Each structure stands twice: as C-alpha cells, then as structure tokens.
Structure 1
Amino acid sequence: MQLYNTLSAEERALLIEQAGQNRLTLSFYAYAKIENPQQFRDELFLAWSHLNALGRIYVAQEGINAQMSVPAEGFEALRATLEAYDFMKGIRLNVAVEQDDMSFLKLTVKVRSKIVADGLKDSSFDATDIGIHLKAKEFNEMLSDPNTVVIDMRNHYESEIGHFEGAITPDVDTFRESLPIIEAQLAEHKEDKNLLMYCTGGIRCEKASAFFKHKGFQNVYQLEGGIIEYTRQIKEEGLQSKFIGKNFVFDHRLGERITDDIIANCHQCGQPCDTHVNCANEACHLLFIQCDDCAEKMHHCCSDECVAVIQLPEDEQRAMRRGVQKGNLIFKKGKSDALKFKNERNVFDEIVPVKVSAVTKIRKKRIEKKKLIGRVEHYFTKASVGQFSIENEAITLGDILVVVGPTTGEQRLDLQQMMVNGVVVQQAQVGDKMTLSLDFRVRKSDLLYKIQA
C-alpha cells in the first residue's frame, strides 16, 4: 500500500504538462476531534492519490488544514472524499483567485500536534467556541464603524504586500507570537470595541476568535472564508474591495493580486514592488521581495554571498550545506541583514488607514503558451555552457526558449547561436544534444520549453 510520493517535483511537472488538464488550486480547513490522526491521514492519501490530487495538508487531533491542487474535472470527486466524514459534510472549499496548474507538485499529508501552532497550553481553552462569522458585505459595514478594531492575524511578510484598510498588522513571524501581543495591546477594549479579524482562508482567525473570547473579549467577529472568500464575494456582488494589494499564498505563486495597489517595496533597492521570491541559493532559500531589475542584477539571490555560492559546481554546493541546518533561514521572511530595505515597523503606534502609493507599473506573471521540448543534460561551469537534449520538437535560431527548474527558476533566452556535436547549426533536431552559452546557471533535469507563437 503506497502512502508516499514516488515522483520528484520535476517528474510531476512533466506529467502535468503532458496531461494538458486544467487544475484548480483550493484550500479548506475544519476543526474537529479526530481520534486517530495517522489512520485519517493514510485514508486521505490513498483517496487523493487516485484523483491525482496534490498539495500540502496537515491533520491533527484538532482537525485538518489543506492547500491543494486537483484536476478541474475531479473537483466534485474530491469533495466526495471529504464529505465521507461527518465533520466535513458541506465544507466550504476556497478556490484560488488566480489559477496555476503547477501550484503544487507533490501530495504531502502530515500528522501534526495541531493544525495551527498556537503555543497554548491552557486545557480549559475551547477552540470550537468561536466568534461571529461575517460575509464580505457585513465585514465592509463593520469596518466603517468607529468602534471597530480590525486585526490581521497573518504574519508580517503576508500583510506587507496586502491588507485591509486601517488594519493592525502585527510585525510577527508566526501566528503564536501575535496572540499575546494583540491581547496585551487591546486589553482595555475588551467590552467597548468590536474585535474584527481576518486571515487568508479563515483557519487562523477562527482559532484566534476562540482565544480572544476565552480571554474575555465580548464582541468578537471574523471574516468568513478569509481573504479568498471575501474576494469571490465582492466580485460576485459588485462590492468595493476594502482589501488593498496582494494576498500572500503558500504555494509556488506566493501571491494573488486583489487590487492594483502596490504597498510594499523591493527589499534590495526600495522601488515599489510586491513580488515575493526565494533566494536561488538552496542553502539559503530566504523569502524576500525582489523587483525584476534586482533579480537580473543579483541572479535571483538575496546577497552577494549567495551569488558567489550559486556559481560553484553543484557538488561543491552540496558539500557546503551537508550537515548544516539552515532551514530556519527559509522562515526569516525578509528579516535578513543582507536586505537594505526590509520592512520593520511598530504597527501599534496608531490605528490609521494606510496611504497607498499611486503606482502604474505592476509586475505580472506572463501568460504564454509554451511547449516542453527537452531538458538540461549538463552545465559546464568554467565555460558557462549548457547542454540540452532535444526530445519533442526541433528548435531554430530566433526561437524564444524558457529554462525552468526548482532552483533555476524561470529563465528566458532568445536563441541566437547554438552548436550540435561541436558544429554551429541553424536548427537542432529531435535526438540532438545541443549546447549554447548562458549567462545564468542551469541544473541537470531543468526543463526546456519553447514559447509558442
């Protein structure tokens, strides 16, 4: 009985590309008492494997928290696997604002002690005694009430690129940090203020609402379905969006645009930008905001030190990081000393609406049709030359190619010169080993695509 992934991310990406199916990215959660989380986990993994569902899912005795990708035609079949359990009958599935077939490339279902780490050890705390749910229209109305305090229950790197007007945005790295900070700052307003909370999909403010009720707050409300459901409702009902900027998401997209406002800046040059990236140095992988110009200048890295590392042969890079635990760097979320324009603030100084800069140029993902034509066979470091196997279609000088890989990212090139068997050619045929000079590093098994006209 297979209860684990057998394909790499690269192999899965190839299968998705070849299948040609439209996929949906979605999320859901449910608080419940699960007696045997491990058995529950195994049952879900088997059911979802048959549906070609992918994603990152956590289960615990307190419930389930999931972000997933599923073939569009299998959406109802996925729902059926959930509603086989009584506590998930009628569960709301939050479908992403922007779709990407490659949002998840593996199915990971993990058993955790909690589906939302809260740091609480109070046995009298009841996570099911929650606040009042508000739909988008009701949420907008309560936002305009002067007796309302709106709290962003997400982390600083999420609220940095987008949040509701006038929201308190705690400068924290984790959910558990925000609970005592907010409680202390609002201790004098337990009875006279409406405490209005929101998060990405609802799971964090659901637990937070129960926490604040437990701590004596009288008027506790939360945005039903989070920012994802709010966005769907305002579009459907023609309402004004009180959320500005982008909604951070926890798949490879790292964000969904809600409005055209840019409220963040590049962490390296300070220019208006709200595009999160991970440092190309695998030993770092720091999450930070980087504009196109800095991405080109810094080779998609966060620092000069990381740029130097990625120029080394792959075996040397592996040797450097072997046995060194640097996973915490992934979660520093823009707080590295290498970043000159990192965001630091004290959000409790005053509660006022933010002022949005008027910015016209917004970095948007290119929507292009591309065809998989081959993959990287080798990279010759000293010569800065890549060797590619041409597998599915011939390429000709003048073609626009894209090299894609987990570390390489997405690198475009205008094909002006290439060689096959040491000879300069105009066209490389299927079966050829083609080489060309590159101004960026590629890795073995990176995929080679051709942009279709």
Structure 2
Amino acid sequence: MQLYNTLSAEERAILIDDAGKQRLTLSFYAYAHLQNPTQFRNELFLAWNPLDVLGRIYVANEGINAQLSLPADHFYAFKDTIEKYEFMNGIRLNVAVEHDDYSFLKLTIKVRDKIVADGLEDETFDVTNIGIHLKAKEFNKLVEDPNTIVVDMRNHYESEIGHFTNAIKPDVDTFRESLPIIENQLSEHKQDKNLLMYCTGGIRCEKASAYFKHKGFENVYQLEGGIIEYTRQVKAEGLESKFIGKNFVFDHRLGERITDDIVSQCHQCGKPCDVHTNCVNEGCHLLFIQCEECKTAMEGCCSTECVTIIHLPEEEQKAVRRGIKNGNKIFKKGKSDVLIFKNNIETHAAFKTVGPKIIRIKTPKINKIYLGKAVHYFPKSGIGQFLIEENELELGDIILIKGSTTGEQELILSEMFVNEIDSKRAVLGETVTFKIPFRIRLSDKLFKVLE
C-alpha cells in the first residue's frame, strides 16, 4: 500500500507532459477538531494518489491546509473525496488566478502540530471562534470606513510585491511574529475600530481573527477566501480592485499578477520590479526580487560571493555548503545584508502604511496574428509542439510564444518539423515542432509577429 510519493520532480514533469492534460491549481483549508490526523493523512493519500493530485498539504489536530494541483477532468472526483468528511462538506476551493501544469510536482501530505504555526500555548484559545467573513464587495465598503484598520497578515516578502491600499504591513518573517506585534500596536483600539484582516487564501487571518477576539477585540473581520477569492469576485462582479500588484504564492511561480501596478523594486539595483527568485547557489537559495538586467549580470545570484561559488567544481560547492550553518543564510526570505538596495532603502518599516511609488509599466504592443496552441513539450530535447489553428507559418518567421507563466518569448524560426517531417511551411490543421530554449505549458499560445 503506497502512502508516500515515489517519483522525482523530473520524472513527474515528464508524466505530466505525456498525459497532455490541463491541470488546475487550487487551495483550501478547514479548521476542525481531528482526533487522529495520521489516519486522516493516510486516507487522503490513498484517495488522491490515483487521481494524480500533486501538492503540499498539512494536517493536524486543528484541521487541514492544502495547496495542490490536479487534472481538470478529475476535479469532481477529487471534490467527492473531501466532501465525504463532514467538516469539509461544501468547502470553498480557491482556484488560482493563473494556472500552471507544473505548479506542484510531488504529492506531500505531512502531519504537523498545527496547520498554521502560531507559537501559542494557550489551551483556552478556540481557533473555531472566528470573526466575521466579508466578500469582496463588503470588504471594499468597509475599507472606505475611516474607523477601519486594514492589516496584512502575510510576511514581508509577500506584501512587498502586492497589497491592499493603505494596509498595515508588519515587517515579519513568520505568522507567529505578527500576532503579538499587532496586538501591542492596536491595543488602544479594541473597541473603537474595525479590525479588518486579509491573507493569501484566508487561513492565516481566520486563525488571527479568532486570536484577536480571544484577546478582547470586538469588531473583527476577515476577507473570506483571501486575495485569491477576492480577485475572482472582483472580476466576476466588475468591482474595483483595491488590491494592487501581485499576489505571492507558495509554488514555483512565486506570484500571480492581480493588477499591472509595480509596487516594489529590484533588491539589487532599485529598478521597478516584482519578480521573486531564489539565488541559484544551492548553498544559499536566498529569496529576493531581481530584475532581468541584474539576473543577467549576476547570473541569477544574490551576491558576487555566490557568483564565485556557482563556478566552482561541484565537489567544491558541496564542501562550501557543508560549512554553512542551517538558518544562517540558507532559505532566508529577502533580508540578507547582500541585498544592497533593499537594505539601503527602508521599504518595510513595521506598520508602514505608505508604500513605494506605484509605477505602471506598459508593454509596447506587438503587431501579431494568432497561429495556434501548445499541445506538447518534450523536456529532454527541449522541443515544443503546436497545433496550427489559424493562418500559416514559414521558416524565417518571427514567432511569439505567450503564456501566463512563460511570459512573452520571441524567436526566429530557423528549423521545424511539420507532422514529424522536416518542412518549410505549416498550414491549418498541421502539427509543428521546433526547438525552444525554455519550457512551454499547454496553456501557451503561438503567434506570428508582423513587421
């Protein structure tokens, strides 16, 4: 009986490519009183593994917290597996704003002490005694009330690339740090102010709402479903988005765009940028914001020291990694001294309500015509395959591959195979394959650029 993931990320990516199915990325959580989280964990793995569910899931005595992806055609079968549990009957599933077939490449379900680490040892604290949930329209209305204090319950590296206007953004690395800070700073407003909180999907501000009620705050509200559900409702109902920038997500995408506003800067040069990356030095892996120019100049590294290290032979790199104490530098979230611009410009003082100047970057419009859609990607050979649905394609054409994760990539077509035969021209209904220096997704579209 298989109860754990047995495939590597590379092997799983190949299987996803071969399956050729569109996948959904979604998240959900539920607070409950579970008597046997280990048994619950094993039941979930046995139910989800056959459905090709991949993701990062935590279960504990206080409930479940899940971020995952699954084939779109398995959605209803998956929903049946969770709604068999009474506490998840009718549960809201937060479907991602942007989908990526490779957002998760393993199914990992772990039993934890808590689904959200809070550092609390208070047995009188009831996590299910929560505040009032607000939908997007109600949230927007309460934000305008002068008696409302809006608090971002996320960490500094999340709020720096996107946030609600005029929100308080505590300069913290973890959720557990934020609770006493907020309680202390707002202690004089337990009765006279509306405490309105938000986070990515709702799980952190749900626990925070119960905590602040426990601490005597009377008017406690939270954004139902977090930023993810807020964005969906804003689009569906044609509302004004009071969230600006990008929403940080905890998969390889590291963010999904909500508005065109750029509210942060490159941590190395200060240019407008909201693209997080991890330092390519495996002994560092620092999370920070890096623009394309700095990425090229620094070879994806956070410092000249790391650039030097990545050019060492692999055995020497391993020796260097063995000498680094865990927690000293590895996996730090953007607060290293090597980030010159971030540390010289105060962008995240505790409870700073006025952020950096918002800059709107408009991409020059490219004159193009639609050709077709991606149907396959061969990772080992770096070859993309597309179905021509409109117009024609010829050798020498400038093409544009566009997708939510891929971005916009231009290439000059110098070689291609049409229906697996070397050819110079592809027309409606034919399948064309050619080499590409990056991974494509099945949601990507193919265009021809017109000069």
Interval of TM-score (by shorter of Structure 1 and Structure 2): 0.7 to 0.9
Q: Which residue of 1 aligns with 2:348?
A: 345
Q: Which amino acid aligns with 1:30?
A: A
| Deviation of the 1:46 alpha carbon | 1.3
* Match in the other structure for 1:258: 258
Report the counterpart of residue 117 of structure 1 in structure 2: 117
* 1:311-353 deviation digits (Å, cap 9, x = unpaired): 123333233324754356354211011111226432436x5x5
Query: Who is 1:207 aligned against?
Result: 207
* Letter in structure 1 aligned against 2:27: S
Aligned partners of 1:370 and 1:449 also within 8 Å: no
Quick one: structure 1 residues 427 and 354, their matched pair in 2 at CA, closer, same or farther if it must change by over 3 Å? Answer: closer
Listed as ranges, the matches of 1:125-274 within 5 Å are 125-274=125-274
**Closer, same or farther in 2 for the Cα pair 1:391/1:316, shift >3 Å?**
farther
**Structure 2 length as normaliser, TM-score?**
0.82
Tell me the equivalent position of 1:103: 103
**Secondary structure class of the residue paired with 2:288:** strand
- C-alpha change, 1:258 and 1:47, in structure 2 (3 Å) is same
CA distance in 1, matches of 2:329, 2:146: 40
1:414 Cα offset (Å): 7.5
- 1:358 is displaced (CA, Å) by 2.9
Equivalent position SS for 2:360? coil
Counterpart of 2:64 in 1: which secondary structure? strand
Matching of residues 12-411 of structure 1 within 5 Å: 12-322=12-322, 324-326=324-326, 329-342=329-342, 344-348=347-351, 351=353, 354=355, 356-361=357-362, 369=374, 372-373=377-378, 375=380
CA-CA distance at 1:247 after TM superposition:
0.5
- Structure 1 distance, partners of 2:333, 2:33, is 33
Pair 427,89 (structure 1): closer, same or farther in 2 beyond 3 Å: closer
Unaligned runs of 5+ in 2: 365-371, 386-394, 400-405, 421-436
* Contact 1:270-1:341 at 8 Å conserved across structures: yes
Q: Which whole-Å deviations, capped at 9, do the CAs of 1:144-200 have from their partners, x for residues lacking one?
A: 000000000000000001111110000000000000000000010000000000000
Give CA-to-partner distance per residue, 1:257-281, whole Å, 9 cap, x none: 1111000000011000000011111
Native 8 Å contact 2:272 2:359 kept in 1: no
Q: Say which SS state the counterpart of residue 341 (structure 1) adopts.
A: helix
Q: Which moved more, 1:149-158 or 1:38-47?
A: 38-47
Query: Paired residues, what number?
Result: 404
Q: Secondary structure at the match of 2:206?
A: helix
1:284 and 1:326 in contact (8 A); partners too? no
Match of 2:110, SS? strand
- Alignment partner of 2:262: what SS? coil
Q: 1: distance between equivalents of 2:327 and 2:212? A: 32
- Alpha-carbon spacing, 1:48–1:230, altered in 2? closer, same or farther (3 Å): same
Distance 1:286 1:389, change over 3 A: closer
Alpha-carbon distance in structure 1 between the residues aligned to 2:282 and 2:264: 25
For residues 412-451 of structure 1, the aligned pairs below 5 Å read: none
One-letter amino acid of the structure 2 residue matched with residue 35 of structure 1: Q
Which residue number in structure 2 is paired with residue 433 of structure 1? none
Structure 1 residues 355 and 20: CA distance shift in structure 2, 3 A: same
Deviation at 1:19, TM superposition (A): 1.1
* TM-score after normalising by structure 1: 0.81
Alignment-mate amino acid for residue 357 of structure 1: I
Contact 1:371 1:449 in 2 (8 A): no
Between the aligned partners of 1:138 and 1:177, the Cα distance in structure 2 is 28
Residue 448 to residue 207, structure 1, CA distance change in 2 (3 Å): closer
Equivalence for 1:442 = none
Assess if the C-alpha contact under 8 Å between 2:41 and 2:109 holds in 1.
yes
Q: Could you tell me how far apart the structure 1 residues matched to 2:410 and 2:332 are?
A: 32
- Once residues 249 and 47 of structure 1 are traced to their aligned partners in structure 2, the CA distance between those partners, rounded to angstroms, is 25
Structure 1, unaligned runs of 5 or more: 376-387, 402-408, 418-425, 431-446
Query: Shift of residue 373 of structure 1?
Result: 4.4
Q: State the one-letter code of the partner of 2:204.
A: R
Q: Give the whole-Å Cα distance in 2 for the aligned partners of 1:283 and 1:449.
A: 25
8 Å contact 1:374–1:448 — kept in the other structure?
no
**Contact 1:24 1:95 survives alignment (8 Å):** yes
The 1:373/1:103 distance shift into structure 2, 3 A limit, reads: closer
The alpha-carbon distance between structure 1 residues 331 and 206, as it changes in their structure 2 partners (threshold 3 A), is: farther
Check 1:314–1:244 CA distance in 2 against 1; reply closer, same or farther (3 A cut).
same
CA 1:93 to 1:221, structure 2 compared with 1: closer, same or farther past 3 Å? Answer: same
- Deviation per residue, 1:210-229 (Å, 9 max, x gap): 00001000100000000000
Using the TM superposition, name which of 250-259 and 311-320 deviates more.
Answer: 311-320
Helix, strand or coil for the counterpart of 1:308? helix
C-alpha distance in 2 between matches for 1:313 and 1:372: 31
Assess if the C-alpha contact under 8 Å between 1:272 and 1:359 holds in 2. no
Q: In 2 relative to 1, CA 414–358 (structure 1 residues): closer, same or farther, beyond 3 Å?
A: closer
Contact between 2:14 and 2:379, CA under 8 Å: does it hold in 1?
A: no
Q: What is the identity, as a one-letter code, of the residue corresponding to 1:73?
A: D
Contact 1:59 1:65 in 2 (8 A): yes
Aligned-pair identity in percent equals 67
